[in-house]
Amino acid sequence: MLLRLPVLMVCLSLSSTAISADTVSFSGDVRLGYFSSERDDRDGSKSDQDDARIRLRAGLGWQISDSFFAKARLATRYSSAGNKSQFKFFHSIPLNDGLAFGDTGLDELYLRYQPNKIWSVAIGRLQTKAELEGVAKKSLSRNDSPNTDISWTDGVQLQHSRAGWISQLIVQANRDEGATTVRRSPLAFTEERSHLSYYAAIEKKQKQGLWLQRGVDFTYLPKSLRQDGNIDGRIKDYAAASTRLSMQWPLANGMRWVWANELGYAANTPSNATLRLADSGNSDGGAWQTSINLMEIAEKHGIALVYGRIGGGWLLSPDFGNNQELIELRYQWRLSDSQSIEARLRQREDLAERTDANQKRNDIDSYLRYTLRF
């Protein structure tokens, strides 16, 4: 219903509003790259993989009036390692990275009402993010479509802006099959109350001064946590909060040093037994990331070192797996406002060894990718 409503409203307005070249805009992006990974798995086996990937997104925007704007965008992605071939429209995509390779879907389909510069409300299929500033923009709580992934938020987004502070409230629709943004197991959405979830945030970003970014957010998923890992066990609400703080200092020759931090905590978490961890009681709900960034080390070049530790009970991040330690080196070259090249070298390892494993899982991966926006 959340998707069909904006479509219906736009169709009704066709009878009273003329479409012209001045009111319609075309936009999109192409992202392609080479990806490589090596894994030492929990059972002692070793594996490696490399592939070329491409993600294509193209959309049409329509400025219906001074206050109303509508947009629809198609997205697809492919890998040289193999592809499916399905069209996903209203369906959920409960995979951790969204649409499978070869699939195509609408990742934006919304109607936005903005009567002034202070208030706006959008309804439909949206792209929503809560990224930490820096070269490698990662999030503990919300980040639709990172890297070459394709995911989205189905729901309603209310925004308020004043004095540089942006406040937002998102009411998100979830289906029995899962949410359309990353929600990690044992979160599930088969209970009636879990079909609507909630996100609230306030944040301020500024280009000048010490405080580059300040923000806090809160996520509430009613009746979504299968604490014992199955539908017959305890099913509880899942609530989590995170805060972001980024500082910047000018250096010589236009260079900037940016230190960015994010800290999160989830109250109710799955039991350690559910996650196959040795300790008794519930899993660790803490999560944090920190990054040191050198911006403009040469004109339009930046480099960052990222470190994160994510407890087993933190289940919201598309950029960090739960029960995981991450260290990453990222390089970015902004060729222009519409083009960039990025390279990454990353290591991820289980924080705690699982009871069904012979050792911790260790992954080392890298990529070189190019992005063009139009």
The pTM of the full predicted model, rounded to 2 decimals, is: 0.92
Instruction: Determine contact, residues 124/110, Cβ cutoff 8 Å.
Output: yes
Name the percent of the chain in helix, strand, coil, to the closest 5: 5, 55, 40
**DSSP characters over 8-77:** HHHHHHTTTS---TTTEEEEEEEEEEEEEEEEE-TTS-EEEEEEEEEEEEEEEEEE-SSSEEEEEEEEEE
Residue 66, token pair as written in the block: 């001074």
Answer yes or no: CATH 2.40.160.10 is held by domain 4-373: yes
Type of residue at 144: D
**DSSP string covering 157-220, please?**
EEEEEETTEEEEEEEEE-BTTB-SS---TTB---SGGGGEEEEEEEEEE-SSSSEEEEEEEEEE
Residues of 221-244 as b/e, b for ≥16 C-beta within 10 angstroms? Answer: bbbbbbbebeeeeebbebbbbbbb
Residue pLDDT tens, the chain, 374 long: 555 555 555 555 544 455 777 899 999 999 999 999 999 999 999 999 999 999 999 999 999 999 999 999 999 999 999 887 777 665 666 567 788 898 899 999 999 999 999 999 999 999 999 999 999 999 999 999 999 999 999 999 999 999 999 999 999 999 998 899 999 999 999 999 999 999 999 999 999 999 999 999 999 999 999 999 999 999 999 999 999 999 999 999 999 999 999 999 999 999 999 999 998 999 999 999 999 999 999 999 999 999 999 999 999 999 999 999 999 999 999 999 999 999 999 999 999 999 999 999 999 999 999 999 99
Cβ count within 10 A of residue 117: 8
Strand 211-226 with 104-113, pairing: unpaired
